[in-house]
A and B are shown apart, each in its own frame.
Chain A
């Protein structure tokens, strides 16, 4: 199975900070990657798919980039509601695999 490794974990930041989360795949996955946000006790929420396409209704402060093995999720100005755990997910091969998650905490 393709291994997805996220960093850092956890991440401490303040409101207004620019935050970058990295996801590295154990092999080339083209741009077959999505990002999901999960708040405690809630279902995950889709943010980005195909590495860089922003899902409708998701604030434009979220952006994604990368291809091959290295990907990033950037939050341009962290808002209070953004403190959550973020997961990358590769959909290049079966079985699909998630990263271990990056918890964004209040500094």
Chain B
């Protein structure tokens, strides 16, 4: 079965750090862009970051730039999100998603076709 499973969520104090993992099964991660999306309690979806299959291209939303680091280990079929200097505004469910990146030359489109179940991150003292 093709699936993504997040882990590493939990309660952390303001200013603290946490690392989320997203492990793929049923497919090889190395050919896919991967993305993190978060959702604060009762709020909408927010795109956080993405990374190319070989790790050569990375982008972040402004609110996490310099604090969060997306990375991947294709040998372990895993994606990561290192989160530092956390604040209450980072409290959310964090989803990882596979991007099958449909291309109709010369344009390519994000296509988030597989999602994990989400990992809750709570930043509170």
Which residue numbers of A lie inside 8 Å of B, CB to CB? 1, 30, 32, 34, 36, 38, 43-46, 49-50, 53, 55, 87, 89, 91, 94-101
Contacts of A96 on B, CB cut-off 8 Å?
35, 47, 50, 110
* The one of B47, B102, B115, B118 that contacts A95, using a Cβ cutoff of 8 Å: B47
* The one of B47, B50, B102, B115 that contacts A43, using a Cβ cutoff of 8 Å: B115
Please tell me if the beta carbons of A44 and B62 are within 8 angstroms of each other in the complex: no
Please tell me if the beta carbons of B115 and A50 are within 8 angstroms of each other in the complex: no
Task: Given A38-B45, A89-B47, A95-B47, answer yes or no on A46-B112 (Cβ-Cβ < 8 Å).
Answer: yes
* The one of B45, B97, B113, B117 that contacts A101, using a Cβ cutoff of 8 Å: B45
Q: How far is the CA of A103 from the CA of B117 in the complex (A)?
A: 20
Please tell me if the beta carbons of A32 and B44 are within 8 angstroms of each other in the complex: no
Shortest C-beta distance, B27 to chain A (Å), equals: 15
Task: Given A34-B109, A95-B59, answer yes or no on A43-B116 (Cβ-Cβ < 8 Å).
Answer: yes
Please tell me if the beta carbons of A44 and B112 are within 8 angstroms of each other in the complex: yes
Contact with A along B9-48 (1 / 0, CB 8 A): 0000000000000000000000000010100000011110
Please tell me if the beta carbons of A50 and B109 are within 8 angstroms of each other in the complex: yes
Please tell me if the beta carbons of A50 and B59 are within 8 angstroms of each other in the complex: no
Q: How far is the CA of A27 from the CA of B50 in the complex (A)?
A: 22
Q: Name the CB-closest residue of A to B37.
A: A44
Task: Given A43-B115, A46-B113, answer yes or no on A94-B44 (Cβ-Cβ < 8 Å).
Answer: no
Q: Name the CB-closest residue of A to B103.
A: A50
Q: How far is the CA of A99 from the CA of B50 in the complex (A)?
A: 18
Shortest C-beta distance, A25 to chain B (Å), equals: 15
Shortest C-beta distance, A10 to chain B (Å), equals: 13
Please tell me if the beta carbons of A49 and B44 are within 8 angstroms of each other in the complex: no
Shortest C-beta distance, A53 to chain B (Å), equals: 7
Q: Name the CB-closest residue of A to B63.
A: A95
Q: How far is the CA of A8 from the CA of B109 in the complex (A)?
A: 26
